[in-house]
Amino acid sequence: MKSIGQILQQTRLEKKITLEQVANQTKIRQDILMALETDDFQRLSSVASIKGFLKSYAEFLGLPSTQMLAFFRRDFDKKEKKKVVPSGLLKPVVRREFNWTPKKTMVTVITLFFVGLAGWLIFQYLSLTRPPFLKVTEPVSQAQVNQVTIEVVGRADPDSLVTVNKEVVLLSPKGEFNHQISLYPGENDLVIEAISKLGKKTSVERTVFYQPGD
């Protein structure tokens, strides 16, 4: 069974027509005509273009274009149609290699610097605007003692101002404190406060009962 290209070539030769004459009459380039006659359809731009060229070439040679297109569909199934790609795309794919340059290094360093700076500023802002940390471990609430003084022990933000019943408490570098305060007989209310630089306050209250000994 002859291919469509063989039919075109044989018909042209029988009519003693040159490719140059076909090209002049159909306005189809000679290289395209040669591709059609050799069934080298991958050199052509698309399936639609192939059908157009085949129709024009067949009609010029006096062949039934509908039948020629049927031969084309017969010879090329869907799998082969996918192989017909633009000739300009038949070049090898060039993979871009990652190229690290001093400029990219500088941009990365500057970006990381500003990201870090932004994070630090946000942390500082949150630290200043939130209430200061304060934890009182001693005494426990509702404690009953028989001593006239009691130690208030706890921990707070190192840069905060801590007071016990308005008395300023000395903090260690880690924010720890141990403050002694005098009690009155009966119920004593202790108010421990930590105040940040922006005036944010955290308060803890303890109630201590002092029962003097006999």
Q: What is the pLDDT of residues 25-35, one digit of tens each?
A: 888 888 888 88
Architecture of domain 4-89: Orthogonal Bundle (1.10)
Q: What is the pLDDT of residues 89-117, one digit of tens each?
A: 444 455 666 678 888 899 999 999 999 99
Domain positions in the chain are: 4-89, 134-210
Q: What is the pLDDT of residues 121-140, one digit of tens each?
A: 888 777 777 898 999 999 99
CA 105, chain centre distance (Å): 20
61-65: long-range contacts at Cβ-Cβ below 8 A with a sequence spacing of 24 or more?
61/8, 61/11, 61/12, 61/15, 61/17, 62/11, 63/7, 63/8, 63/11
- Of the candidate CATH numbers 3.30.420.40, 2.60.40.60, 1.10.1740.10, 2.60.40.10, the domain formed by 134-210 belongs to 2.60.40.10
pLDDT > 70: percent of the chain: 88
Tokens of 136: 């009182």
Look at residue 46 and tell me whether its pLDDT is greater than 90. Answer: no
